[in-house]
Amino acid sequence: VYTIRAGGVDIWGTGDEFHYVYQPVSGDLDVVARVVSLGAVDVWSKAGVMIRESLSAGSAHAMVALTPGNGWVFQRRAIPGGSSSHTQGDAGVAPGWVRLVRRGSLVEAYQSRDGQSWAPIGSDTIPMTNDVYVGIAVTSHEVDLATVAIVDNLRITEATVASNRPPTVSLTSPLSGQQFTAPATFTLAAAATDIDGRVESVEFYADSTLLGRVTSAPYSYTVNSMPQGTYGIRALAVDDGGASSMSETAVVTVSVASIQPPRAVVFVASVDHATLVTKYVLEIYRSGTEPGADTPVATSDLGKPAVDGNGEITVDRSAFFQALAAGDYIATVSAVGATASARSGTVSFSR
């Protein structure tokens, strides 16, 4: 059991700050560990296993980590001093298992809740020297604060010879950051290849929910009536040997269309405007109720404005409409005299 107290700004960007418990290892390898617990100093505090080419801050490396607020993540820097890349895994917090497998330059990342059933997060080609440093990496993601991680079941073994290389897959649509209006219809698309066989299928997921499965190129699927929410869209490619790879995640947002309330009241002036009308009153009723018979939810005294050349009256009531709660309404205007009043027809609107 390893209890590691660590600070550090992050393992990210072009240089890393973290605590590393490691040993030198040569060649292909398989490293597994369980993150028992991790102090939630930040949602991006990290604890997991790492393969690192050198002990310099900008070294090429690969890491699978658990975080307090962002689940499992596969992070890597393919070129020394270069930028970092990220593939999002499932949601979850410690305890959880993490695993990296290196075969040549290919590094595969896995996640597990029980240490028995492993799900791929992703893979990448990361050229590193034959001799590397392998172990447990922990960062608090806060320069002035430390986190404490407890990690056990660390195992570093020689990777078995792969009889089947996993396919490669990238999500081409939608793009991360795209926004849609509910109920949304949009196309999911991916590019997938297999170096030593054929792609058997491509599955599209919203978070952990399967949206659709395509068995031949082009790998595209249309989503219909997607409800409001924020979704992590991924593509999983499976080859004819059963190996699989997951694409990076595109985060999309499906929002309800914004309904703008009316801003003004426009109505035809009463034929008795000049002689009998003392004022006009706007009445708002819930949709499905009866003007005059039921009680209005809101009223507004419109006064007695001037009539334009078309015989119409226009009164700005944007603040009045804005104050209404969301819902469906009907509006009517009454011409009020000293002894009687007359009500117009109705107009429906939504807020």
Q: How many CB atoms lie within 10 A of CB 27?
A: 12
Q: Picking from 188-192, 239-243, 329-333, which range would have the lowest pLDDT averaged per residue? A: 239-243
Tens digits of residue pLDDT in 50-71: 999 999 999 999 999 999 999 9
Give CA–CA dist 330/287, Å, rounded. Answer: 6
The Cα-based distances of 214 to 96, 126, 195, 284 in angstroms read 31, 29, 19, 52
Q: What is the pTM of this model?
A: 0.50
- In a shared domain, residues 200 and 124: no
- In a shared domain, residues 249 and 311: no
State the pLDDT confidence band at 95, using cuts at 50, 70 and 90: very high
Res 136 pLDDT > 60: yes
CATH number of the domain encompassing residue 82:
2.60.120.200
Q: Would you say residue 163 lies in a domain?
A: no
Give CA–CA dist 271/212, Å, rounded. Answer: 63
State the pLDDT confidence band at 162, using cuts at 50, 70 and 90: low
CB-count burial class (<10 Å; 0-12, 13-18, 19+) for 326 = exposed
- Please name which of 129, 169, 136, 130 lies closest in space to residue 152, comparing C-alpha atoms: 136
For β-strands 244-246 and 106-112, DSSP reports them as: unpaired
CB-count burial class (<10 Å; 0-12, 13-18, 19+) for 233 = buried
CATH number of the domain encompassing residue 326:
2.60.40
Range 10-37 average pLDDT = 96
Tracing tokens 């499992």 back to the chain, one arrives at 72
Give CA–CA dist 44/291, Å, rounded. Answer: 57
Q: Picking from 41-55, 84-98, 256-270, 273-287, which range would have the lowest pLDDT averaged per residue? A: 256-270
String of DSSP letters for 269-290: PPTTTTTTEEEEEEEEEETTS-
Q: Would you say residue 208 lies in a domain?
A: yes
- In a shared domain, residues 233 and 301: no
- In a shared domain, residues 228 and 321: no
Give CA–CA dist 113/273, Å, rounded. Answer: 77
Q: Kindly state the tokens that stand for 105.
A: 């330059």
Give CA–CA dist 319/177, Å, rounded. Answer: 33
Q: How many CB atoms lie within 10 A of CB 69?
A: 11
Tracing tokens 């985060």 back to the chain, one arrives at 251
**Which residues span the domain enclosing 246?**
168-255
Give CA–CA dist 275/255, Å, rounded. Answer: 51
- In a shared domain, residues 181 and 76: no
Tens digits of residue pLDDT in 280-314: 999 999 999 999 899 999 999 999 999 999 999 99
Res 233 pLDDT > 80: yes
Element (H, E) at 328: strand 328-337
pLDDT over 90 percentage in the chain: 86
Q: Would you say residue 124 lies in a domain?
A: yes
Q: Would you say residue 215 lies in a domain?
A: yes
- In a shared domain, residues 186 and 50: no
* In contact, 285 and 334? CB cutoff 8 Å: no
- In a shared domain, residues 153 and 179: no
Give CA–CA dist 260/51, Å, rounded. Answer: 54
CATH number of the domain encompassing residue 202:
2.60.40.10
Domain count, the chain: 3
Give CA–CA dist 339/330, Å, rounded. Answer: 26
